């Protein structure tokens, strides 16, 4: 047997197999991206600006436009903001494997934690961030519950005192679509060139005025690859960021 020739045949066969597998993976990725990231809801002008500025949208664009009211709430941080030590530290791996297990493990030590949801894009170097849920569905971006961890264990927490007031006297209004809000950001250059939008989420946000009662309106949050978060008010369409705390015209 000509072992040199047989070796060459095997090498070529493996190369061909790798090419076939690579092509199949590329086709699968393309099909998945096409099914998840539907840009047809964006205007032609928005898509043109995206292409010119090399802006990528890596998150599916939500299609829901629910009718939601503005909300009023009272909010404060107790004990001068000092974290409260847990009597029994909890493994951080629970937050990645099963949040229900994490909540179950912390429920006896952190009252009302079931009314919060993890906001991974707001996590800090030493703390996981949870947001309170309005009507069990919409995160309130202004308020956070922090779970401080060290050596792979959650050891303390800082929980706000929060009361969401009745919305019976608040008028429900249809929320601006995510595609229109995104189009505003792209066409008006709020999103820098070569940036990626990695998350789009509907929740509540409002400027903080340090008053007894704060107000928040439905808002789309767009998280960029550099960690910056831009909000589009879901009723008026105003654009603002937490850093500026000022509506951009």
Are 81 and 30 part of one and the same domain?
Answer: no
- 249 lies in some domain: no
Q: Over the stretch 174-229, which tens digit does the pLDDT of each residue have?
A: 999 999 999 999 999 999 999 999 999 999 998 777 778 899 999 999 999 999 99
Torsion of CA 113, 118, 122, 126, to 10 degrees: 70
- 99 lies in some domain: yes
Are 15 and 64 part of one and the same domain?
Answer: no
Series of mean pLDDT values for 10-residue runs along the chain (249 residues): 57 59 48 52 92 94 94 82 90 84 92 93 95 95 94 93 86 95 95 95 86 91 96 94 58
Among 227, 224, 207, 223, CA closest to 215? 207
Q: What angle do CA 139, 144, 147 make, to 5 degrees?
A: 120
The count of domains in the chain is: 3
Are 65 and 84 part of one and the same domain?
Answer: no
Are 28 and 44 part of one and the same domain?
Answer: no
Which residue range is the domain that position 9 belongs to?
1-36
9 token code pair: 């045949």
Are 151 and 200 part of one and the same domain?
Answer: no
Q: Which residues contact 81 (CB under 8 A, 6 or more apart)?
A: 158
**Of the candidates 128, 162, 196, which is a domain's last residue?**
162
Are 209 and 89 part of one and the same domain?
Answer: no
Q: What is the CATH number of the domain that holds 91?
A: 3.30.310.160
Are 83 and 157 part of one and the same domain?
Answer: yes
- 132 lies in some domain: yes
**pLDDT value of position 35:** 38
Query: Is residue 193 within a helix (H) or strand (E), and if so which, with residue range?
Result: none
Are 62 and 175 part of one and the same domain?
Answer: yes
CA count, 13 A, side-chain hemisphere, 211: 10
- 247 lies in some domain: no
**pLDDT value of position 48:** 94
Are 114 and 2 part of one and the same domain?
Answer: no
Q: Tell me the CA distances in angstroms from 176 to 33, 142, 150, 170, 235, one per residue in order.
A: 25, 20, 41, 17, 6
């Amino acid at each position: 047997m000509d072992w040199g020739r047989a070796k060459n045949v095997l090498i070529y066969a493996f190369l061909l197999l790798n090419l076939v597998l690579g092509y199949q993976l590329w086709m699968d990725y393309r099909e998945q991206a096409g099914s998840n990231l539907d840009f047809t809801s964006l205007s032609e002008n928005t898509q043109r600006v995206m292409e010119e500025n090399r802006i990528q949208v890596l998150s599916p664009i939500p299609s829901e436009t629910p009718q939601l009211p503005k909300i009023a709430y009272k909010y404060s941080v107790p004990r001068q903001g000092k974290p409260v030590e847990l009597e029994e530290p909890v493994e951080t791996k629970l937050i990645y494997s099963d949040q229900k297990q994490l909540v179950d493990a912390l429920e006896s030590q952190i009252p009302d934690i079931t009314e919060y949801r993890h906001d991974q894009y707001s996590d800090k170097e030493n703390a996981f961030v949870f947001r309170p849920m309005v009507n069990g569905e919409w995160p309130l971006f202004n308020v956070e519950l922090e779970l401080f961890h060290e050596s792979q264990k959650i050891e303390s927490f800082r929980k706000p005192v929060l009361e969401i007031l009745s919305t019976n006297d608040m008028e429900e209004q249809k929320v601006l679509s995510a595609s229109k809000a995104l189009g505003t950001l792209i066409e008006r250059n709020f999103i820098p060139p070569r940036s990626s939008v990695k998350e789009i989420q509907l929740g509540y946000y409002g400027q903080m005025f340090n008053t007894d009662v704060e107000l928040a309106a439905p808002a789309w949050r767009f998280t960029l690859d550099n960690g910056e978060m831009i909000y589009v008010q879901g009723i008026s369409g105003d654009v603002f960021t937490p850093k500026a705390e000022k509506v951009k015209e």
